[in-house]
Amino acid sequence: MSYSIVEKRDMVHQVHLMKVLAPDVARAAKPGQFVIIRIDEQSERIPLTIADCNVTDGSVTIIFQEMGKTTKQLATLKGGEELQDFVGPLGTPSEIDKLGTVVLVGGGVGVAPSYPQAKAYKEAGNKVITIIGARSENLLILEEEMRAVSDELIVCTDDGTKGHHGFVTDVLQKLLQSGEHVDRVVAIGPPIMMRAVAGVTKPFGTQTIVSLNPIMIDGTGMCGGCRVSVDGKTKFACVDGPEFDAHKVDFNLLMNRLAVYRDEEGISMKRHECTCGGEQ
């Protein structure tokens, strides 16, 4: 069985949106979950978080950034082409409850998996404050979509080209210091950003959830590559998570483990570039 790409479009530099026809996944998916895809029989299997689902037309939306060999290859595909595998939904769904005020913090491509969560928290009756950030205005994604499902949207750019000039953590810090009662913070983005968010919220005792999608490899718990330490216990991000209590995650170990396969990834990219003549 193969899975048709019904839409593919470029969002910002090296970030792409792809809608894939996968009715079974669309019916079952919940916020926080992911899929495993394989482009063809020779491709590696990679996990990608689900950005949206449409039960009516059976499509599942993924948003990905060109980072390694497989995502660069995926970016060359167009609408009408097919994927060999599209398996899911996988992972433990987010716990969406009516809490009061929930702050979603999305950094870079982490805004994509933040979107279904913001929508779900809003539908559950929460006040949703969303903070999204990118290095520059031309790298922001899903701004209007996030605005539509948030009571308040705050945009940040590192270079000041739009919104707050600075990091998402600056805005979060000011929000907590202002006396605004926040029941939960959910942060999704680069590990260094999630670690910084955890550092900001801990003194306030604010419950903080992070999604450890960046460390997943196999996606089924078999390879062990996504081992993380949470509250001193070994967990697997793909089957025990990907969401964990931010204040219990050993971020130093996490970031060290992210570098384990860096050399192999570089070799794979070089081989891919030689095979395809360097064309994307």
Annotated binding-site positions for [2Fe-2S] cluster: 223, 226, 238
Q: Which two tokens stand for residue 51?
A: 């950005």
Interatomic CA distance for residues 27 and 16, integer angstroms: 23
Closest by CA position to 87, among listed 15, 20, 10, 9: 20
The dihedral built from the CA positions of residue 209, 214, 216 and 219, taken in this order, carries a sign that is positive
Integer Cα distance of 148 and 118 in angstroms: 10
Cβ neighbours, 10 Å, residue 219: 26
Q: Are 72 and 153 in contact (CB under 8 A)?
A: no
Please give the span between the terminal C-alpha atoms of the chain, in angstroms, as a whole number. Answer: 26
Which amino acid makes up residue 187? A
Pair type for strands 82-83 and 3-12: antiparallel
The dihedrals phi and psi of 7, each to the nearest 5 degrees, come to -155, 140
Q: Which residues are annotated as a binding site for FAD?
A: 63-65
Residues in the annotated binding site: 63-65, 223, 226, 238
In sequence order, the 6+-apart residues with CB closer than 8 A to the CB of 107 are: 132, 133, 134, 168, 187, 188, 189, 190, 193
- HSE value, Cβ hemisphere, 13 Å, CA-based, for 60: 28
Residue 24 backbone phi and psi in degrees, to 5: -65, -40
